[in-house]
Structure 1
């Protein structure tokens, strides 16, 4: 369901009752959706700061859509569309990769809440140095889910972070990707 349809289903009075932990739980539910589809379990939610309404949501679809940059954060940004990101908070179930961190900074997000720095970390310091407020709100379910994924599919995890060549899966020239 497109995020823009939420206003039809959810009363505006509902959103202000949600807190950081609630929004992180939604990001983890989106990560679980990706995992259940055979993808990398990373989800993200973009929340308007004043109203607390969700304006964008997404999950990693590297496998599902055969696209190397369909990360949870990029999917949520695409879903949000042309909004003023400087008035939002991004919740992500896993520490952003370098590309997502660059996009977060480039789009002017003032705040990012990260649900897992146990399985991946590194861009939090960079984002802080660029003026982004970064809060870590570790979610035990999200951490366990990503850890299970990493154990079950280490090559896919490596491909998501570093590409197919790094995972030893470079296709032959002229062949179609899986």
Structure 2
């Protein structure tokens, strides 16, 4: 299994356990090395911008542009998924406008999304700019995010700018 899949899942679970939004992300190099990891911490840190993707990029630190151009962002998938590196992996919902901007700024070519039923972010903008977006449509992702949205609608709406 790709190391980032489990790491992104763990990040999302960590955020949820802290009382935050269950979204985790991992930035993975082309060789499968985890460059950065993070989870949404807007509630925990009273932050306006600390989404999971931004946290993962911050954790990765300053990297050469060539590293980003070969990386993948994984956005929280379940432990059973194993996309091919490199990727930026993010667990629930598509990346929002802010996180999409960061992905485009650093020219990250691949994004893997756990599900896009509960929140459809900027997938089309990513694709229009040449980013390969893979949606895994993971049932566990859908269920946890739907539960969070149902239980804490105000926090969720604040996170997505509603």
Counterpart position of 1:7: none
TM score, norm. by length of structure 2: 0.83
Q: Over the residues paired in the alignment, what is the CA RMSD in angstroms?
A: 1.3
Matches within 5 A, 1:75-154: 75-83=55-63, 84-91=67-74, 92-94=90-92, 95-154=94-153
Q: Deviations along 1:86-140, whole A, 9 cap, x unmatched?
A: 1210001121111000110011101111111011113111100011111111222
Distance 2:91 2:6 in 1: 8
Kindly indicate whether structure 1 or structure 2 has the higher relative contact order, using CA contacts under 8 Å at least 6 residues apart.
2
Aligned mate of 2:22, from 32, 41, 53: 41
Instruction: Tell me the CA shift for residue 141 of structure 1.
Output: 1.9
Unpaired runs of 5+ residues, structure 2, are: 75-89
Q: Contact 1:28/1:142 (CA < 8 Å) preserved in 2?
A: no
Q: Gapped runs of 5+ residues in structure 1?
A: 1-17, 167-178
- Please identify runs of 4+ aligned residues in structure 1 that moved more than 6 A: none
TM-score (norm 1): 0.76
**What is the aligned length?**
143
**Residue deviations 1:19-61 (CA, integer Å, cap 9, x gap):** 3xx6334322211111110111110011101x20111100000
Q: Which has the larger radius of gyration?
A: 1
